[in-house]
A and B are shown apart, each in its own frame.
Chain A
Amino acid sequence: MVNNSAQIKPLLLFAYGNLSRGDDALGPLLLANLEAQDAGFLQNVDFLTDFQLQIEHALDLENRALVLFVDASMSAQQGFSFQEIFPEKDQSYTTHAMSPAAVLSVYQQIKQHLPPPCFLLSIHGAAFELGAALTTLAEQHLAQATDFTKILLHSPNLTEWREHEKNQRCLQQALDSLTLTRG
Chain B
Amino acid sequence: MYEHLETAENAAQLKRVVIDPVSRVEGHGKVTLLLDENNKVQQARLHIVEFRGFERFIQGRPYWELPVLVQRLCGICPVSHHLAAAKAIDQLVGVDPENLPVSADKLRRLLHFGQVMQSHALHFFHLSSPDLLFGFESEQNKRSIIAVLAAFPDIGVQGVKLRKYGQEVIRMVSGKRIHGSGAIAGGINKALTPAERDYLLQDIEQMIAWAQGAVALIQKVHCSNLPYYDEFAGLRSNYLSLTKPNGALELYHGGIRVKNAEGGTLLDNIDYCQYNQYIHEEVRSWTYMKFPYLLSLGKEAGWYRVGPLARVNICDYIDTPLAEAARVEFKAHSQEALVHSTLAFHWARLIEVLHCAESIERLLHDPAILGGELVTKGEKRYEGIGVIEAPRGTLFHHYQVDENDIVTKANLIVSTTSNNMAMNESVRQVAAEYLSGQELTEPLLNNIEVAIRAYDPCLSCATHAVGKMPLQLELINAQGDVVAKLLKHDTGEFERIHG
Contacts and interface: CB of A to CB of B under 8 A. Distances in A.
Contacts of B145: 55
Interface residues of A, number: 20
A110 B465 contact: no
A43 interface: no
Nearest to A6: B202
A4 B202 contact: yes
A7 B199 CA distance: 9
Nearest to A57: B164
B198 to A, nearest CB: 9
Nearest to B121: A56
B199 A93 contact: no
Contact of B153 (A58, A94, A110): A110
Interface stretch (B155-163, B299-307, B416-424): B155-163
B370 to A, nearest CB: 18
A70 to B, nearest CB: 17
B150 interface: yes
Contacts of B160: 55-56, 58-59, 110
A109 interface: yes
B167 interface: yes
A174 to B, nearest CB: 38
Interface string A3-47: 110010000000000000000000000000000000000000000
B177 interface: yes
A95 interface: yes
Interface string A88-124: 0101011110000000001001100000000000000
Nearest to A2: B203
Contacts of A58: 160
Nearest to A112: B153
B468 interface: yes
A2 B206 contact: yes
Given A4-B199, A51-B178, A95 B465 contact: yes
B161 A94 contact: no
A61 to B, nearest CB: 12
Interface in B117-159: 126, 144-146, 149-150, 153, 156-157
A91 B126 contact: no
Contacts of B200: 1
A160 interface: no
Contacts of B149: 106, 109-110
Given A1-B168, A110-B153, 11 more contacts: A1-B202, A51-B75, A55-B160, A59-B161, A59-B164, A89-B146, A91-B491, A94-B467, A94-B468, A95-B490, A96-B75
Interface of B: 75, 126, 144-146, 149-150, 153, 156-157, 160-161, 163-165, 167-168, 177-178, 199-200, 202-203, 206, 465-468, 490-492
